[in-house]
C-alpha cells in the first residue's frame, strides 16, 4: 500500500502525471520510490503543468477534495521536482489509513468520462 502510518498522520507515495487530459486519482499501482526501489504508489493525474509548483498545488487540491481533508493538512515531504512524491497527511493515523485507502479507489474503473 502507498499509505504508511507516520508521526502525526500518514505518508503517501504518489506517482504524479502532469499535463494530463483530466484531474483524477487513477488508483494504486507500482512505481519507483526513494533509493530506486519498486513500491506501491498512488497514481494521480493533473492537468496543470510542472512549472513553478503548479502541478504540486493541483495535486494537493485534488487529494484534499478527494480525501475530504483541508489542503493545509497535506504537505509535500519529498519530490518537489520529481514525478515520484512523498506526501504527509496530518491527522489520526488509524482514521486516515482507512479513509485514504477507501477514497483512493476510483469509482469508474474504466477511467472514461465519455457517455
SS3 of residue 67 by DSSP: helix
What whole-number percentage of the chain has pLDDT above 90? 61
Residue at 28 is within a domain: yes
Residue at 78 is within a domain: yes
Q: Could you tell me the pTM of the whole model?
A: 0.84
CATH code, domain carrying 95: 3.30.1200.10
Checking if the pLDDT of 32 tops 80, the result is no
Q: What is the mean pLDDT of residues 57-66?
A: 95
Cβ neighbourhood burial of 78 (10 Å; 0-12, 13-18, 19+): middle
Domain count, the chain: 1
Residue at 95 is within a domain: yes
pLDDT tens for each residue of 88-112: 999 999 889 888 888 776 655 444 4
Which domain range does residue 88 map to? 3-102
Mean pLDDT of the chain: 86
Amino acid at each position: 500500500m502507498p499509505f504508511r502510518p507516520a508521526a502525526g498522520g500518514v505518508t503517501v507515495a504518489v506517482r504524479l502525471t502532469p499535463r494530463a487530459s483530466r484531474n483524477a486519482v487513477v488508483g494504486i499501482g507500482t512505481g519507483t520510490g526513494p533509493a530506486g526501489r519498486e513500491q506501491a504508489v498512488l497514481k494521480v493525474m493533473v492537468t496543470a503543468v510542472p512549472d513553478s509548483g503548479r502541478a504540486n498545488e493541483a495535486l494537493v487540491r485534488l487529494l484534499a477534495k478527494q480525501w475530504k481533508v483541508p489542503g493545509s493538512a497535506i504537505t509535500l515531504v519529498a519530490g518537489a521536482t520529481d514525478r515520484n512524491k512523498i506526501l504527509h497527511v496530518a491527522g489520526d493515523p488509524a482514521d486516515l489509513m482507512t479513509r485514504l485507502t477507501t477514497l483512493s479507489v476510483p469509482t469508474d474503473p474504466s477511467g472514461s468520462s465519455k457517455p
